[in-house]
Structure 1
Amino acid sequence: MSTPLTADALVAALRAEGVKVVEYKSWRTNNRDHKGPWGPVNGVMIHHTVTSGTPNSVELCYSGRSDLPGPLCHGVIDKEGTVHLVGNGRANHAGLGDGDVLRAVIAEAAALPADNEADTDGNARFYGFECVNLGDGQDPWPAAQLEAIEKVSAAICRAHGWTERSVVGHLEWQPGKVDPRGFEMDWMRERIGVRLDADETPAPAPAPTKPSATTPTKSKPAYEPFPGASLFRVGRSSPIITAMGRRLVAVGCGRYAVGPGPTWSEADRASYAAWQRHLGYSGAAADGIPGPTSWAALRVPNV
């Protein structure tokens, strides 16, 4: 359960993941917040537009229809893999869905239950992305578009510390829905999981060496394990702190005027506090001092 990303944080997270982003019209203030809550958020929902062409699809999702006011999602993913941001806040995309599915998403369960009820407000709990596709099972899904779905989902999951199990299709949420039609959500979640597990800053592979017959080999973890709270004190210095700061900037939580650098500072504390708030912590739990759970969610590359 997390506080929704700010507009700046969302853009930063998407671009850090390599997503091409277009900010459409006044998307930062385009929402349905006066009709209900936005957040806490628990996941990402993928849809198809049942339209063709990027300009009209983006405008439709921004403005909505006479029977369903916009925004109809937070972003539109076109055939070329560009993400057009159209809403920031509550959007008319998920509607009422199955509370059992929401509970499974929150628990990041290995499998989702059948969506056989419509008793829970999904517009408050999910980021929504509409993908330009006719939804007839024949309209192709270009590789660039599928990669963008993967990247967008991974970016938001990474920012909140979620796994790929927090990404669902509309058809898994609301009875009677079929979107996205043309690929399997389990397959897409597998792609997202691979991306989330991958080392974001891989080092060049060392020259192969023959291991000693008596010395076992041990692979280096992709991410820094939690180094202990004692590292995060005034005057302490480590390359781990630099790597942490770079990740905080990448997920939109950087509060640095200069840096980040290797020496723990008030800017590091303020940046990490912003990250904790993004994860849903508040009060004393968002004091800016890393703990094991929030640290694992940040995925600081191994240094």
Structure 2
Amino acid sequence: MATPLTADQLLAALRAEGVTVVEHDGWRTHNRNQAGPWGPVNGVMIHHTVSSGTASSVELCYNGYDGLPGPLCHGVIAKDGTVHLVGNGRANHAGGGDPSVLQAVITETYGDRPPAPHEHQGSAGAVDGNTRFYGFECINLGNGTDPWPAAQLDAIERASAAICRAHGWGAKSVIGHLEWSDWKSDPRGFAMPGMRDRVQQRLASSPAKQQPAAQKPAAPRYQPFPGTSFFKTNPSSPIVTAMGRRLVSEGCSAYATGPSPRWSEADRRSYAKWQRKLGFSGSDADGWPGATSWNALKVPYTK
């Protein structure tokens, strides 16, 4: 058992393990601590969202829904491997589960899998997993056919290892929701024993050492997000050209010529391709830049 990591400790652990992190407004104090205890913690639980699209999935996990207020996890792992932090503290993700599974996680004495669960939320013998586990929701439809990109699986491995390393746990402290509750099936589409093998291999080596500050190359400077309204004014700006060049390099071009400084329908269609590449869909992939997709594009700074 361990004291939960602070927000700063969690962020540092993820970054040290090479995780790409997006911090969402208020995540450091966004929790359900008023509903019950947070900690001592014993492990990491992996889920799938049964949703598609990064922006809408992150919003769902941040806010929750009627009957189950957010946060619904601590981090949302997108298809591109980005981890979106939405909560710090108790989160509504695990619910009730089997005490024999909890004991197996604490002692890390089980074999390939923890014992099969026979309890669930509301059953007489269930224990509260929201107290005991960090939770990561991974964007996937959960139908067994929605793919798990290599970048997403790598981020699950890295995020799990980061928390285990910070607490001195082994990979057997990482379980899926289906291994906790007999009502659950997530994550569906990859096997948790294989993921634990990956986590254990990562824990067997040290995370990459940071270079001394004097030897670090200058960090690239990227264009801050100018706001969606900037593009809707039909601007003529070198920012538009720089954006278009990045879209072309990402294989998201809908340009017949250019790109050019003047925002055009070709820019919007190209940007929509980029949003879909990131996993956005529907109105979240309408071609109008938003902060999350813009930051992921890494447009070079233009004066």
Same fold (TM over 0.5): yes
Aligned pair count?
Answer: 202
1:27 to 1:200, Cα distance in 2 relative to 1, 3 A: closer
The answer to whether the Cα contact below 8 Å between 2:16 and 2:208 also exists between their aligned partners in 1 is no
Unpaired runs of 5+ residues, structure 2, are 121-125, 210-303
Equivalent residue number for residue 73 of structure 1: 73
Normalising by structure 1, what TM-score? 0.66
Equivalent residue number for residue 38 of structure 1: 38
Q: Are residues 1:52 and 2:59 paired? A: no
173, 176, 180: which one aligns with 1:173:
180
1:106 to 1:54, Cα distance in 2 relative to 1, 3 A: same
* Helix, strand or coil at the partner of 1:45: strand
The runs of at least 4 aligned residues of structure 1 exceeding 6 Å deviation read: none
* Helix, strand or coil at the partner of 1:100: helix
1:201 to 1:48, Cα distance in 2 relative to 1, 3 A: closer
C-alpha root-mean-square deviation of aligned residues, in Å?
1.0
Equivalent residue number for residue 147 of structure 1: 154
- Displacement, 1:110? 2.7
Amino acid at match of 1:163: G
The answer to whether the Cα contact below 8 Å between 2:19 and 2:83 also exists between their aligned partners in 1 is yes
Amino acid at match of 1:117: E
Amino acid at match of 2:65: R
Amino acid at match of 2:56: N
Q: C-alpha distance in 2, partners of 1:160/1:175?
A: 27
Equivalent residue number for residue 198 of structure 2: 191
Equivalent residue number for residue 85 of structure 2: 85
**1:261-280 C-alpha deviation (Å, 9 max, x unpaired):** xxxxxxxxxxxxxxxxxxxx
Equivalence map 1:241-260=2 (5 Å): none
Equivalent residue number for residue 117 of structure 1: 119
**1:27-72 C-alpha deviation (Å, 9 max, x unpaired):** 1111000000000000000000000000000000000001210000
- Displacement, 1:134? 0.2
Normalising by structure 2, what TM-score? 0.66
Q: C-alpha distance in 2, partners of 1:51/1:199?
A: 34
Q: C-alpha distance in 2, partners of 1:165/1:84?
A: 24
Equivalence map 1:191-230=2 (5 Å): 191-200=198-207
Equivalent residue number for residue 13 of structure 1: 13
- Displacement, 1:201? 5.3
1:72 to 1:201, Cα distance in 2 relative to 1, 3 A: closer
Equivalent residue number for residue 300 of structure 1: none
Q: C-alpha distance in 1, partners of 2:90/2:182?
A: 21
* Helix, strand or coil at the partner of 1:55: helix
Q: C-alpha distance in 2, partners of 1:43/1:55?
A: 27
- Displacement, 1:199? 3.9
- Displacement, 1:200? 3.5
Amino acid at match of 1:194: Q
Amino acid at match of 1:11: L
1:100 to 1:77, Cα distance in 2 relative to 1, 3 A: same
Q: C-alpha distance in 1, partners of 2:208/2:128?
A: 38
**1:135-192 C-alpha deviation (Å, 9 max, x unpaired):** 0001000000000000000000000000000000000001120000000000000000
* Helix, strand or coil at the partner of 2:136: strand
Unpaired runs of 5+ residues, structure 1, are 203-303
- Displacement, 1:121? 0.1
Q: Are residues 1:137 and 2:144 paired? A: yes
Equivalent residue number for residue 228 of structure 1: none
**1:209-238 C-alpha deviation (Å, 9 max, x unpaired):** xxxxxxxxxxxxxxxxxxxxxxxxxxxxxx
